[in-house]
A and B are shown apart, each in its own frame.
Chain A
């Protein structure tokens, strides 16, 4: 009736092998995404030329295209993908809710309202959108945390407070779009999310947060694993539950806010990438963190390449590409699992 030891060991090796294979596939996809994103465009550039233009040749048209346009944009895509995915993993783990994502803690609505106020009411200050969106996102997240606080934090209260605050701020967004319907184009592009014309300044904005995210991924995996077992069990095991939850939620908010402030409201990555990674390699956060980060980078670079080139010269917001291609793929994984 019970499996023998050797069976156990065999299935264990099989499982570990499967996880390693998945990680390698994710990594290959991410590297391909990175190279394709640099190679494809109005001007096709071969892979040796890309490497040459990044590391060796410091002038000429190829260097100009790679160094000033494609490389920074690709790096932004990688960093945004990593940050949103890690944020999603953190929030889904902390909230113990599969629907948790940066939306839940008000990141999107806070950044959305703040960004749209600038774009619609003060368009001359459009260059201020990233910092203002970042502040809006963090303010909304803090507001939700404070509203949900009652001698500690219960995930369900955060989620409900998040829904209410997001609806409230969403009303502001809709109101502005309706009253200033003549100025909505920029606002709509911002809400769909995209990486058009992103360059080195954006890399520098988001990079510190990616470093933070990677530190969390490296050191907080076990803490999150234990938190998932429930508050009482986690306390019994010696985890400082409130401090861990506060720290992780704050990190999740910072990661998402930094991504949203350079790429607009990309809703899809933070929700679906962690789930896809979880379905493919399991729930252990020590593996799930790096896997989601790599997969997020892969998804964003590939989607952005497609967004840039599919209907060239017109660019589609990358958020639309990801939702259209990613949702069916995710549904397929979900069906296969069942």
Chain B
């Protein structure tokens, strides 16, 4: 298994407050890895450090063995796509226009979007089931459709690694599953490595190969769901009492929350 991302002794301070301290972590290629942890534990900061949006105060992050700060901005965008939690866009932007922006890093001003570009945009729209919305304005779409449009933009970057920050927040259960199944399909069919932050622990277990639990800026546990999702860990990290069951089909654990621990 290739190491796609290798993080060594990562420390991040924002306004003199330590957000992440001493993160050591290797992201294996070809898998779906989900980061879970309580609010304010540093999940998003970890994603943003990998995407070079947040500068580490110590430590290093390497992409395929190369320090990410030594990679050119456009080359980096060709390997890593980042989908933020909050989106803003002009009111008359269409889905297709948005997806075309995904090709920005691969284009040069003297050689605009050629046929290959257009084919990749078509492919990204098809993969996300957004073809019939291609000429719709983003603001006229439902939350789930809009999320798929942003995923299509990330896909158009043709990334090896897709990083998503809470892709299912604010969606109803059906659209949550739709997005997660899409992510799973992209991982399976296109071989895209996925790293995401997700709040619903049961969904994280259900759709991920690996889990990473973060608490107070440190890695609390990492590995397969069966190894790390148990009553003690959930109590320790999330301060909740739970019942753990096992799904007979996937053999993966899922939990039922009882009450707040010590509350």
The verdict on A238 contacting chain B, using a C-beta distance below 8 Å, is yes
The verdict on B76 contacting chain A, using a C-beta distance below 8 Å, is yes
Beta-carbon contact of B89 and A229 below 8 Å: yes
Beta-carbon contact of A240 and B73 below 8 Å: yes
Beta-carbon contact of B93 and A226 below 8 Å: no
The verdict on A284 contacting chain B, using a C-beta distance below 8 Å, is yes
B49 CB to nearest chain A CB (Å): 12
Beta-carbon contact of A9 and B101 below 8 Å: no
Distance between Cα atoms of A226 and B53 in the complex (Å) = 16
A303 CB to nearest chain B CB (Å): 28
Beta-carbon contact of A237 and B104 below 8 Å: yes
Number of interface residues of A (CB under 8 A): 28
Beta-carbon contact of A239 and B88 below 8 Å: no
The verdict on A154 contacting chain B, using a C-beta distance below 8 Å, is no
The verdict on A232 contacting chain B, using a C-beta distance below 8 Å, is yes
The verdict on A338 contacting chain B, using a C-beta distance below 8 Å, is no
Q: Which of A8, A228, A282, A284 contacts B135 (CB 8 A)?
A: A8
Beta-carbon contact of B101 and A219 below 8 Å: no
The verdict on A196 contacting chain B, using a C-beta distance below 8 Å, is no
Number of interface residues of B (CB under 8 A): 36
The verdict on A230 contacting chain B, using a C-beta distance below 8 Å, is yes
Beta-carbon contact of B104 and A239 below 8 Å: yes
Beta-carbon contact of B91 and A239 below 8 Å: no
Tell me the nearest residue of chain A to B84, going by C-beta. A232
Beta-carbon contact of B104 and A233 below 8 Å: no
B193 CB to nearest chain A CB (Å): 16
A-facing mask of B73-91, CB < 8 A → 1, else 0?
A: 1101110111110111111
A-facing mask of B97-108, CB < 8 A → 1, else 0?
A: 100011011000
The verdict on A29 contacting chain B, using a C-beta distance below 8 Å, is no
The verdict on B33 contacting chain A, using a C-beta distance below 8 Å, is no
The verdict on A12 contacting chain B, using a C-beta distance below 8 Å, is yes
* Residues of chain A with a CB closer than 8 A to B52's CB: 235
The verdict on A309 contacting chain B, using a C-beta distance below 8 Å, is no
Distance between Cα atoms of A235 and B86 in the complex (Å) = 14
Evaluate whether A230 and B88 lie within 8 angstroms (CB atoms) in the complex, with A2-B133, A5-B132, A9-B135 already known. Answer: yes
Distance between Cα atoms of A236 and B98 in the complex (Å) = 13
Beta-carbon contact of A230 and B135 below 8 Å: no
A234 CB to nearest chain B CB (Å): 9
* Residues of chain B with a CB closer than 8 A to A222's CB: 101, 104
Beta-carbon contact of A236 and B82 below 8 Å: yes
Q: Which of A212-244 contact B (CB under 8 A)?
A: 219, 222, 225-226, 228-233, 235-240
Beta-carbon contact of A284 and B97 below 8 Å: yes
Tell me the nearest residue of chain A to B51, going by C-beta. A236
Distance between Cα atoms of A235 and B48 in the complex (Å) = 11
Beta-carbon contact of A230 and B104 below 8 Å: no
* Residues of chain B with a CB closer than 8 A to A237's CB: 77, 101-102, 104-105, 153, 157
Distance between Cα atoms of A2 and B144 in the complex (Å) = 14
Distance between Cα atoms of A68 and B258 in the complex (Å) = 88
Beta-carbon contact of A282 and B92 below 8 Å: yes
The verdict on B171 contacting chain A, using a C-beta distance below 8 Å, is no
Beta-carbon contact of B135 and A236 below 8 Å: no
Q: Which of B86, B87, B104, B135 contacts A238 (CB 8 A)?
A: B104
Distance between Cα atoms of A229 and B97 in the complex (Å) = 12
Evaluate whether A12 and B84 lie within 8 angstroms (CB atoms) in the complex, with A219-B109, A229-B101, A237-B101 already known. Answer: no
The verdict on B146 contacting chain A, using a C-beta distance below 8 Å, is no
Tell me the nearest residue of chain A to B105, going by C-beta. A238
A282 CB to nearest chain B CB (Å): 5
* Residues of chain A with a CB closer than 8 A to B81's CB: 236
Beta-carbon contact of B135 and A232 below 8 Å: no
Distance between Cα atoms of A282 and B90 in the complex (Å) = 9
Q: Which of A11, A96, A229, A235 contacts B51 (CB 8 A)?
A: A235
* Residues of chain A with a CB closer than 8 A to B105's CB: 237-238
Distance between Cα atoms of A96 and B88 in the complex (Å) = 10
Tell me the nearest residue of chain A to B154, going by C-beta. A236
Tell me the nearest residue of chain B to A3, going by C-beta. B136
* Residues of chain A with a CB closer than 8 A to B136's CB: 3, 8
Distance between Cα atoms of A163 and B93 in the complex (Å) = 31
The verdict on B134 contacting chain A, using a C-beta distance below 8 Å, is yes
* Residues of chain B with a CB closer than 8 A to A230's CB: 84, 86-88
B221 CB to nearest chain A CB (Å): 28
Beta-carbon contact of B53 and A232 below 8 Å: yes
Distance between Cα atoms of A235 and B54 in the complex (Å) = 11
With contacts A96-B88, A233-B82, A284-B97 known, what are 15 further pairs, Cβ within 8 A? A2-B132, A3-B136, A4-B132, A226-B104, A228-B88, A230-B84, A236-B51, A236-B53, A236-B77, A236-B83, A236-B84, A237-B101, A238-B76, A238-B78, A283-B92
Residues in A lying within 8 Å of B, measured CB to CB: 2-5, 8-9, 11-12, 96, 219, 222, 225-226, 228-233, 235-240, 282-284
In the A-B complex, list the 6 residue pairs whose CB atoms are closest, starting with the nearest: A238-B77, A238-B105, A236-B82, A283-B90, A238-B74, A8-B135
